[in-house]
Amino acid sequence: MANLPRVTEIRSISKFGLSVVTIVFEDAMGTYLPRQLIAEKIKSASEKIPEGFGTPEMGPITTGLGEIYQYTLETKPGYKDKYNPMELRSIQDWVVKRQLAGIPGVVEVNTWGGFLKQYEVALNPEKLKSMNISTSSIIEALEKNNSVAGGGYIEKSNESYFVRGEGMISSIADIENIVIKNVEGIPILIKNAPNPVSKVGSSSTILTSN
């Protein structure tokens, strides 16, 4: 990094399993040009690092020190039972966060707390063995049935219509009905082997600006 243009200071600190290099540029360089120059250097350095020693990467544009605003999502009196912590977290991640991210000057919106909505499939090893089904085949079936595939686009009246195949899982029932394999024409579904279990795992938010 020593030969990068308009660098005013380079400092580093190394500990067991971690090294941090800080490069300070002149203010007139802005934010994005220095990051581009560093990215090119990182790519070159990555090729010289032996396998198993990690890959260098840049930190985010902002940190907790750039925090400008905090807020929480709460229910109005009388509606406490309508939205649980998991549903509030989902509203934050999929509605509020995306709208805030489109405001000019907002670099990042960080979320914590609440219960992150996720689904887990609890496997029954004995049942799997009796059906001659491997764990990897279940993982493969779940991955293949929870994806989106592009299909090009169609032009009509000066407009483009994008075509895609959407197979995203949206409920426990969708998980249960995924086909693992067929035995003599009879499909073996996820619900025939394990049992899907819904788990939630709390949410405050930081709004940061450049």
Q: Is residue 134 a contact partner of residue 128, using CB atoms and an 8 Å limit?
A: yes
C-alpha of 26 from chain center: 33
Under DSSP, the state recorded for 75 is P
Assigned token pair, 85: 């912590």
The phi and psi torsions of 85 (rounded to 5 degrees) equal: -55, -35
Say whether 104 sits in a helix, a strand or coil.
coil
C-alpha of 61 from chain center: 18
Predicted pLDDT of residue 172:
84
Predicted pLDDT of residue 196:
46
Predicted pLDDT of residue 64:
56
Residues 6+ apart with CB under 8 A from 92: 73, 111, 114, 203, 205
Predicted pLDDT of residue 206:
43
The Cα–Cα gap between 109 and 98 comes to 9
Identity of the amino acid at 40:
E
The Cα–Cα gap between 184 and 12 comes to 63
Q: What angle do CA 107, 110, 114 make, to 5 degrees?
A: 155
Predicted pLDDT of residue 205:
42
The Cα–Cα gap between 9 and 37 comes to 15
Identity of the amino acid at 4:
L
Tens digits of pLDDT across the chain (210 residues): 888 999 999 999 988 888 899 999 998 998 889 999 999 999 988 888 888 788 899 887 766 566 778 899 988 888 888 888 889 999 999 999 999 988 887 878 888 888 888 888 888 888 888 888 888 888 888 888 887 777 788 888 888 888 877 777 878 888 888 888 888 888 888 888 765 444 444 444 444 443
The residue with tokens 């405050």 is 204
